Amino acid sequence: MSRSHPSSLASDANETGPPIPNLIGSGPAMEKIYRLTRQVARSNASVLLLGETGTGKELIAKAIHRLSPRGSGPFVRVNCGALAENLLESELFGHVRGAFTGAIENRTGRFEAAHTGTVFLDEINSTTPKLQVKLLRVLQEHEFERVGDTQTIRVDTRVVAASNRDLMEETETGRFREDLYYRLNVITIHIPPLRERREDIPLLVGHFLKIYNEQDFRHVPHVRSDAMQALVEYDWPGNVRELQNYIERAVVLAPGDELTPDLLPDVVLGRKPRRLGRHRAADLPALAAELVEQGIEAAGPQADNLHSMIVNRVERELIAQVMTQADGVQIKAADRLGINRNTLHKKLKEYGLEK
């Protein structure tokens, strides 16, 4: 099978890309998103959304559904990374009474619930090979069986999937089925991280100010220029979700009607080392250099165990990030790290990451 990517929709289409409700931004990157979203919405093709955590993949998925001929049908979201394999299989396809311990009645799965509408499979990269086989069948044949049943159920459901990892890399390492990847990857929309569309930050700040002023019964309509500058210059490893949290925090803590720098966390103001976010492969040398530099500073000039200190620092950061990606599920995290669960449990305790 060819390794070339199935083509994304052409970004130079003649169609314009006006803003879509609930999607904030007016820069070139967001204009491209608006255009692609409107184009793909008209079809029944599967869509794959790629982007870091917190970039707004679910908002894009909802917009695709809302603008499509299926817009009056159900939109059903499934977080594939939040459940173990057996529970996720039941969640997706349903089960019959007696299929397993605790199955006291028949249950409709998410694919059935999304009939005539759209099912959004978030973190699809977290699914196991066994489950990927069933997902491939649904995509190709539009049919499946509930867990513990032999009756075939047919559904008319559009699939929009999302991943915070490069699925091509996942297929090359054997963690994701190549045939399922190509079946999902009919149309791909890459959602850029916030650091690559800084021109949209003032608009996002204004949007979140309005939301949290109303929600928290506050009146903070203004942002001081130096505070806005700090927000624009910060790298936002947590993307839009991180910005949203910090704006809510500032609104709640503001003594007056203006958002000032002292209301922002020290990390945004550059007073603490920036939090290590999700890095692409191209960023890994810089990430390693940063960790080494921080490890040397922490060890001090007299340290005689510098190597082990730096190795432990890198290992701790890796485990912390994988645990976050796995939503705290140790079995899933251990599998991604290539170690057994007992080893992971000891490492979590050693590095103070148990919580």
Q: Residue 173: inside a domain, yes or no?
A: yes
What is the chain's mean pLDDT, rounded? 84
pLDDT of 243 over the 90 cut: yes
What pLDDT is attached to residue 2?
Answer: 39
Within 10 angstroms of residue 181's Cβ, the number of other Cβ atoms is 23
Half-sphere exposure of 245 (CA within 13 A, CB side): 10
Per-state percent for the chain, helix, strand, coil, to nearest 5? 50, 10, 40
What pLDDT is attached to residue 308?
Answer: 65
Quick: pLDDT tens for 302-319.
455 556 666 777 778 888
Residues 142 and 59 in one domain: yes
What is the per-residue DSSP string for 54-95?
A: TS-HHHHHHHHHHTSTTTTS-EEEEETTSS-HHHHHHHHH-B
Helix (H), strand (E) counts: the chain: 14, 9
**CATH number of the CATH domain containing 303:** 1.10.10.60
What pLDDT is attached to residue 332?
Answer: 78
Residues 221 and 319 in one domain: no
Residues 202 and 178 in one domain: no
Q: Residue 268: inside a domain, yes or no?
A: no
Q: Residue 166: inside a domain, yes or no?
A: yes
Residues 184 and 221 in one domain: no
Phi/psi-derived region of residue 17, left when phi > 0, alpha when psi is between -120 and 50, beta in every other case = beta
Binning pLDDT at 50, 70 and 90, where does residue 284 land? Answer: very low
Quick: pLDDT tens for 85-140.
878 988 999 888 776 777 778 888 999 999 999 999 999 998 998 899 999 999 99
Nearest-angstrom CA–CA distance, 228 and 236: 14
Share of the chain above pLDDT 70, in %: 83
Q: What is the mean pLDDT of residues 296-307?
A: 53
Q: Residue 136: inside a domain, yes or no?
A: yes
Q: What is the mean pLDDT of residues 227-253?
A: 94
Last residue of a domain, one of 207, 235, 263: 263
**CATH number of the CATH domain containing 73:** 3.40.50.300
What pLDDT is attached to residue 95?
Answer: 81
What domain range includes position 84?
28-192
Residues 34 and 138 in one domain: yes
Nearest alpha-carbon partner for 184 in 339, 313, 53, 49: 49
What are the DSSP E strand ranges found in the chain?
47-50, 75-79, 118-122, 143-145, 152-154, 158-163, 187-190, 222-223, 258-259
Quick: pLDDT tens for 25-51.
989 999 999 999 999 999 999 999 999
Nearest alpha-carbon partner for 168 in 346, 3, 334: 3
What pLDDT is attached to residue 14?
Answer: 44
What angle is formed at CA 37 by the lines to CA 195 and CA 176, rounded to 5 degrees? 75
pLDDT of 287 over the 60 cut: no
Q: What is the mean pLDDT of residues 277-281?
A: 46
Total-model pTM: 0.72
What's the domain count of the chain?
3
What pLDDT is attached to residue 228?
Answer: 97
Q: Is the dihedral of CA 29, 185, 319, 314 positive or negative?
A: negative
Amino acid at 188: T
Cβ pair 47, 6 in contact under 8 A: no
**CATH number of the CATH domain containing 224:** 1.10.8.60
The secondary structure of residue 8, as a DSSP letter, is: P
Binning pLDDT at 50, 70 and 90, where does residue 282 land? Answer: very low
